[in-house]
Amino acid sequence: MPTPIYALILAGGSGERFWPLSRRARPKQLLRLVSDKTLLEETLARLEGLVPNERILVLTNAEQESAVRKLLGNFPKENIIAEPAKRDTAAAVALGTGWVVARDHAATMLILPADHVISNQVAFQESLALAADAAEETGELVTIGIKPTWACPGYGYIEQGTPVRLRKRSDAVHRVLRFREKPNLDLAESFLRKGNFRWNAGMFVWSVPTVLREFNRQAPELADFISQLRAPKNFEKALRERFSKLPRISFDYAIMEKADRVLVVEASFDWDDIGSWRAVANYFEKDNQGNAANCAITALDSSHNIIFEEGGTTIALLGVHDLIVVRTKDALLVCHRHEAEKIKNLIGKLPPEVQ
């Protein structure tokens, strides 16, 4: 009988780069950026046929919990949990592990961000199934690597080593030599030339016994927290009293980068983390002047602008170039497209009601 698969969806990010469309209570994963579904809804839809809803846990935070529950009205209410404090991904994965262990101590786990764009559901599920096979057969941690399409300095990288032979299939499974931090442009270009580096997309697969072993070996405080969650009667108490005291550290730092044996499965699907308005513009219609918009615009002597309009307003451009214009019901952003990375620095200067 196949090992049951559980999925942990990390849906507590802030998405500050998409202000004014995104807010503290409406982050990137709750936005409809590239389709009529939010990124969180798209993430859940991609798991249909692979993991049933009763085996999916959506982790969000207290600020966003109400919006997530409203959005996922038909999803099991008890499978949405709000983290009581911001403690980064190591604590989130520990919480999800405790939730799974309380239900099946031998299961396979998938860890998936809620805010990525993935176009091919069949290929996505095939990659996850291969990673699950590798995790079960080898007893090792497995990550999904994305073959780079350009020298991006904004992503972490995975240095891929020798292929690993599996009983079923192994052409896309390799040993991880090491994880690399976000590089400068020159280093990213060298990674691209070498050909054995993959983008780290923050997607992981493992068996419960494997990840418990790594927590016990590398992060005993988190392992102790997991042990307190295992009994259903203690779950709420441990979450309420212990979570906010856990170390604020990413799962990559706490576990993955220190693990002795990690495998990487090269993704067979198209992937985009759409981390900026410039990235989202790739999904918009473009006119013959290079203006990208999610709505109808009239442009004269204007080029390479990005327009997002939420409410049906007529947008006209005259003599402007390389701007980002985002209009919502209560806010308007106008900035140069090359200044977009500074949007998150602007938010702290705004009135609290529009942050």
- Asked if pLDDT for residue 1 goes beyond 70, the answer is no
How far the first Cα of the chain sits from its last, in Å, is 50
Report percent pLDDT > 90 for the chain.
87
Cβ pair 267, 144 in contact under 8 A: yes
Note the pLDDT tens digit of each residue in 218-229.
999 999 999 999
pLDDT at 240: 93
Q: How far apart are CA 62 and CA 43, in angstroms?
A: 20
pLDDT band at 4 (very low <50, low <70, confident <90, very high): very high
16 to 51, 103, 212, 346, 347: CA distances (angstroms): 30, 35, 33, 10, 8
Q: Return the minimum-mean-pLDDT range out of 11-20, 83-92, 157-166.
A: 11-20
pLDDT at position 328 is 93
Q: pLDDT tens, 146-171?
A: 999 999 998 999 999 999 988 876 67
Burial class of residue 330 (count of CB atoms within 10 Å of its CB; 0-12, 13-18, 19+): exposed
Q: What pLDDT, on a 0 to 100 scale, did the predictor assign at position 234? A: 86
Domain 5-272: CATH superfamily, name plus number: Spore Coat Polysaccharide Biosynthesis Protein SpsA; Chain A (3.90.550.10)
Q: Is the predicted pLDDT of residue 2 greater than 80, yes or no?
A: no
Q: What is the pLDDT of residues 66-82, one digit of tens each?
A: 999 999 999 999 999 99
Q: Tell me, what's the pLDDT at 170?
A: 67
Residue 195 pLDDT > 90: yes
For the chain, the domains span 5-272, 277-354
pLDDT, average across residues 195-213: 98
> Model confidence at 314, in pLDDT bands (50, 70, 90)?
confident
What tokens appear for 47 in the block? 């798991």
What pLDDT does residue 313 have? 84
303 confidence band (pLDDT: 50, 70, 90): very high
Residue 232: its pLDDT value, please? 78
Arithmetic mean of pLDDT, 35-44 = 96
